[in-house]
């Protein structure tokens, strides 16, 4: 999972500065799945910071420009990937679609909204990758319309082993602007967490279920 443009800017620090990431090893958050976690990421907070927003958009666009093959269509995941995909599509002057988690239950029943993706080479823009499953559902929808997926490009990844396995098994390339490990390192450097807190974060990333179970008893 290489970085698309590691010298562009320091996204982990921006995530912390904007309050998009909250770290709480001692009082974990509970995700919608019920899993307890020492980290909660909400990249929508970044939309409120014009300079950071512009830096991210240009870093994503630079990553795509630097790739061996160029897309003919940009796709965004609904809903959090849509603004980033839109900004990137504007910079690259490419058509845009967005992909719902499931087909609509009414109307045309579409899952991919926008121009037909058939015969397009596509980069799917995502805001956050945890297990990778939601991104790969969107990949399947695009492939079902006849698109070729060049890669999934995301702002941030929790670096969970399950995501690595999911993308590898599917044969889909993916890259991110910032990783969990980098974020933990910046948080330690800035005093947002202690060395003990960093150790707890690392243990969670290695086995989130085990970490969660130990704190649910």
Mean pLDDT for back-to-back runs of 10 residues, the chain (217 residues): 56 94 93 91 95 95 96 97 98 98 84 96 97 96 97 97 96 96 95 94 95 89
Q: Give me the CATH code for the 11-206 domain, please.
A: 3.40.50.2020
Task: Please give the structure tokens belonging to residue 142.
Answer: 């695009």
Please state the separation of Cα 174 from the chain's center in Å. Answer: 10
Alpha-carbon torsion (131, 135, 139, 145), positive or negative: positive
Task: Please give the structure tokens belonging to residue 8.
Answer: 């562009």
The single-letter DSSP state of residue 217 is -
> What are the boundaries of each domain within the chain?
11-206
Closest CA to 156 of 41, 48, 51: 41
Task: Please give the structure tokens belonging to residue 153.
Answer: 């490009």
Task: Please give the structure tokens belonging to residue 40.
Answer: 């909660």
């Amino acid at each position: 999972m290489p970085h698309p443009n590691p010298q562009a800017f320091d996204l982990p620090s921006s995530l912390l500065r904007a309050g998009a990431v909250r770290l709480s090893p001692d009082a974990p958050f509970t995700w919608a799945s019920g899993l307890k976690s020492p980290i909660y990421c909400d990249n929508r907070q970044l939309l409120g910071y014009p300079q950071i927003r512009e830096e991210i958009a240009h870093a994503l666009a630079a990553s795509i420009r630097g790739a061996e093959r160029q897309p003919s269509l940009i796709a965004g995941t609904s809903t959090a990937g849509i603004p980033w995909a839109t900004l990137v599509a504007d910079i690259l002057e490419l058509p845009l679609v967005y992909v719902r988690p499931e087909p609509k239950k009414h109307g045309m029943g579409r899952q991919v909204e926008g121009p037909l993706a058939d015969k397009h080479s596509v980069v799917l823009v995502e805001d956050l990758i945890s297990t990778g499953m939601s991104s790969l559902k969107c990949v399947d929808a695009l492939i079902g319309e006849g698109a070729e997926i060049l890669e999934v490009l995301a702002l941030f990844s929790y670096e969970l082993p399950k995501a690595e396995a999911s993308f590898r098994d599917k044969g889909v390339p993916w890259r991110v602007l910032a990783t969990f490990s980098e974020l933990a390192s910046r948080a330690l450097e800035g005093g947002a967490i202690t060395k003990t807190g960093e150790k707890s974060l690392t243990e969670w990333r290695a086995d989130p279920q085990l970490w969660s179970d130990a704190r649910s008893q």
